[in-house]
Amino acid sequence: MRYGMGAEVLQDISFTLDPGSFHFLTGPSGAGKTSLLKLLYLAHRPSRGLVTMFGDDVTSAPRSALPRLRRRIGVVFQEYRLLDHMSAIDNVAMPLRIAGGADEAKIREHVEELLIWVGLKDRMHARPPTLSGGEKQRVAIARAVIAKPDLLLADEPTGNVDPDMARRLMHLFVELNKLGTTTVVATHDLELVEEMGGAVMQLSAGGLTHSPAGEGQIRNPHRPHKGLTP
């Protein structure tokens, strides 16, 4: 892909994510992890090559076809990207409201349940500017998973939370993955990768190396591990 008139990034990369698999995306800063995620969450189209998602070729699909695909993808952005003037509850409810179809009472009930689960029971009505980094991250994660997406993409999702919360959040990803959500977690935290198991996609200047270790089978994140023990 290419940003504007700049040089091409992510050349000669080819991989397939099996439905329901769990992957870590690692690599040094600047290797293109975020760019690869952008391709996957359809914020960019490739300048050449082919991206197929849920059976559709998104490289040449008309713009009008993309919103439907985007609704099947949950994204945890590195910089959260929450709507600052809205409460946590309204931020998390947004994907369900965009999808339409559900009544507002059910949406709120569902969102409140998830926010309680991520430890934000008392912060539901707070707006993002009043939340700590960790709280914002949990709101962003809750927003990404609320609609039970087919593909979950998380860019450094545990970077700002304490190890205990990191485990809880990873557990959430694993539970979602067990329900069939294909999950890609971009992270620098190699200890977390080692603890969790799962396939690893290593991005580097040379391209993408897809490690089959674990073949997408993820281990229980609640197992005590030195890197995640408080």
Residues that bind another protein (CB under 8 A): 41-45, 63-64, 66-73, 75, 81-83, 85-86, 94-95, 97-100
Summarize the chain as % helix, strand, coil (round to 5): 40, 15, 45
Nearer CB in complex with another protein: 25/92? 92
DSSP strand pairing (56-57 vs 52-53): antiparallel
Helices (H), the chain: 33-40, 66-70, 88-99, 104-117, 133-145, 163-178, 190-196
Is 174 exposed, middle or buried (CB count within 10 Å of its CB: 0-12, 13-18, 19+)?
buried
37 φ, ψ (degrees, to nearest 5): -65, -40
Q: How far is the CB of 92 from another protein (least distance, A)?
A: 11
Sequential DSSP letters for 17-49: --TT-EEEEE--TTSSHHHHHHHHTTSS--SSS
CB of 1 to another protein, least distance (A): 10
Cβ 97 to another protein shortest distance, Å: 5
Q: Which CB atom, from 121 or from 125, has the smaller least distance to another protein?
A: 125
Q: How many CB atoms lie within 10 A of CB 139?
A: 25
Our CB check for another protein shows the closer of 68 and 125 to be 68
Minimum CB distance to another protein smaller for 68 or for 178:
68
Q: Which is nearer to another protein, 9 or 42 (by Cβ)? A: 42
User: In 3-state terms, what secondary structure has residue 58?
Assistant: coil
> What minimum distance in Å lies between the beta carbon of 55 and another protein?
17
Residue 202 CB, nearest distance to another protein (Å)?
A: 26
CB of 52 to another protein, least distance (A): 16
**Between residues 146 and 200, which has the closer beta carbon with respect to another protein?**
146
- Residue 158 to residue 187: CA distance in whole angstroms: 8
